[in-house]
Amino acid sequence: MKGFASIRWRLQIWHGLILVLVLAGFGITAWELVRANELRRIDADLSERRSAILASLRRAREDGPPPRGLPPLRGSTDGEGSRPRDRGEFPPPPPRDFRLGGRDVGLFEGSDRNAYYYALWVRDGTELARSAAAPPGLTRPDPAAATNTIRMIGTRRELFEYTRPGECVLVGLDIAPQMAGLRRFAWPLLLAGGAILALGVAGGGWLLNRALRPIAQISSTATKIAVGDLSQRIPIAETEDELGELAGVLNSTFARLETSFAQQARFTADASHELRTPVTVLLSQIQTTLARERTATEYRDLLEACQRTAQRMRRLMESLLELARFDAGQEPLKRAPLNLAQVAEESLELIQPLAADRGLKLGTDLSTARCEGDASRLGQVITNLLTNAVQYNRSGGEIRVTTGTDQESAMLRVQDTGVGMAPADCERVFERFFRVDAARTTGAGRTGLGLAIVKAIVEAHGGTVSVSSVPGEGTVFTVRLPRR
Ligand code: ADP
């Protein structure tokens, strides 16, 4: 259990935080929108009532005495039109009396806290009128502050306006009930947000669990493999998603690891077996010879037998060492441009006496096949193939060597008219120590490593080697190397 440091927890915490932020942002925006809407509605109501008062005020003024020559007044507008008196050319006298127009009385009905109220002051600050619901401490707004604006006093929202002649009209409403209504709306909002958060976090956790379960399976399989059980595989459907792909890649890696471990183990067992056999033969020959006194010729025969066995063991060990170096990528290749046809000719010269001994005919079709590689290593490849073609041929048979190029590769083909191999054997001939007929081919310096070395050298050159064969008719080995 990795606790809060695990990816699962870190993702869960981040997911929760982001959800909280998003929901908070959404909730605050929603609340602000509703609040702004409510205030706009109240302001529209206030504005409508102010217009009613202004209209009544205008009427009161028109009913008042004729103008006296007062100086022009401050330059605000009060919504009144274009009559010269209204434009301030000669200011109207303050109305002496104010009465709301008949229809407008309904706008300020009631005297409790929920009622709209108004107040009206003349230019010198004297209160001309106020409605029943107007709060007792209501004072005229400072004329210097603004001419037409909204103010909040406690929970009261008030809209006031100074007319050009200097009267102040104020309409207001205690919006505490509306604000309380808004707060009541906040609770469901908070509850809904909380529910969405809980659902989101639970859903996210579920999704995370689902998404991360394969990782747990991968890790438990890898642990079992680490302690030595190479047969373990990740039990995940190899789907198209990332983890499915990863599981697929890991499973095929594990499969390759298992195969190569098994090959390695078999190789070691085979190698010890191959070395133990000649040593056992050697020891028993020596033991038999030493059992009694022998003639000089007999001792010589024994020594010659020992020499042959030792030479065979040396060949075997050299081959093993060579393969081990190829496995470790330590076998240095002296790469240089070369022509496979030329290398084939040199190998053919070497093999000529052996072929002649067996009465075999050597045919060639050597076209230029340029590639890059280590000439002596590639010579070894061709010699190994030719030796096999001689070894497994019928007497009086034929061997044909072809070189050439196609679009991508330089090609070498060694074809014989020998015993051939079954398809199942063809698949295994490049395995180390594999012999089709082990009893028949153990002698004469056969190690079962010749083709394994051919494959190692060709692959170290970035090429491929393949075989096709018809039992009783013959075999064809084809080597392809990247052309130059
Ligand atoms: P070996 O030293 O036994 O020849 P190789 O690796 O060269 O080992 O060959 C592996 C086996 O493949 C041989 O034992 C033989 O059975 C088979 N083989 C190789 N070349 C040929 C061929 N040209 N024709 C038939 N069988 C072949």
Residue ranges of domains in the chain: 3-179, 242-327, 336-482
Question: d(Cα 272, Cα 283) in Å, to the nearest integer?
Answer: 16
Burial 303-312 (b: 16+ CB within 10 A, else e): eeebeebeeb
Q: Which of 58-72, 84-98, 312-326, 401-415 has the highest mean pLDDT?
A: 401-415
As a CATH number, domain 336-482 is: 3.30.565.10
Confidence of residue 92 (pLDDT cuts 50, 70, 90): low
Lowest mean pLDDT among 78-82, 107-111, 420-424: 78-82
Q: Is the CB of residue 216 less than 8 Å from the CB of residue 234? A: no
pLDDT score of 1 more than 90: no
Cβ 57 under 6 angstroms from ligand 1: no
Q: Could you tell which of 435, 455, 466 is best to mutate to test the pocket of ligand 1, judged by most ligand atoms within 8 Å of the CB?
A: 435
242-327 fold: Helix Hairpins (1.10.287)
> In this predicted structure, what is the pLDDT of residue 93?
64
Mutational test site, ligand 1, from 354, 380, 429, max ligand atoms within 8 Å of CB: 429
Is the beta carbon of 421 within 6 A of some atom in ligand 1?
A: yes
Comparing CA positions, the residue from 404, 334, 338, 405 lying closest to residue 371 is 338
Residue 326 is which amino acid?
A: F
**Residue of the CA atom closest to atom 11 of ligand 1:** 435
> Comparing C-alpha atoms, which of 355, 357, 348, 352 is closest to residue 412?
348
Q: Does ligand 1 lie within 6 Å of residue 474's CB atom?
A: no
pLDDT surpassing 90 at residue 87: no
Contacts of residue 20, Cβ cutoff 8 Å, sequence gap at least 6: 197
Provide the 3-class DSSP secondary structure of residue 388.
helix
pTM: 0.57
Q: How far is the CA of 437 from the centre of ligand 1 (A)?
A: 9
pLDDT bucket at 78, cuts 50 / 70 / 90 = very low
Residue 209 token pair: 């669990």
User: What pLDDT, in 10s, does the model give residues 30-40?
Assistant: 889 999 999 99
Q: Of all protein residues, whose CA lies closest to atom 3 belonging to ligand 1?
A: 448
Residue 81 identity (one-letter amino acid): G
Give the pLDDT score at 147: 66
Residue of 323, 451, 469 with the most ligand 1 atoms within 8 Å of its CB, for mutation: 451
* DSSP, res 331: -
CA of 28 to the centre of ligand 1 (A): 83
Q: Whose CA is nearest to atom 23 of ligand 1?
A: 389
**What are residue 465's DSSP bridge partners?**
479
Instruction: Report in angstroms the alpha-carbon separations of 434 from 147, 177, 211, 448, 449.
Output: 108, 97, 47, 5, 8
Phi first, then psi, for residue 399 (nearest 5°) are -130, 130
The rounded distance, in Å, linking the Cα atoms of 371 and 143 is 102
Cα 120 to middle of ligand 1, angstroms: 120
Beta-carbon contacts of residue 388 (< 8 Å; ≥ 6 apart): 416, 450, 451, 477
pLDDT for residue 382: 97
- What confidence score (pLDDT) does residue 417 get? 96
pLDDT in tens, 449-478: 999 999 999 999 999 999 999 999 999 999
CA–centroid distance, residue 388 to ligand 1 (Å): 6
| Residue 415: per-residue pLDDT | 97
User: Do 242-327 and 336-482 fold alike per CATH?
Assistant: no
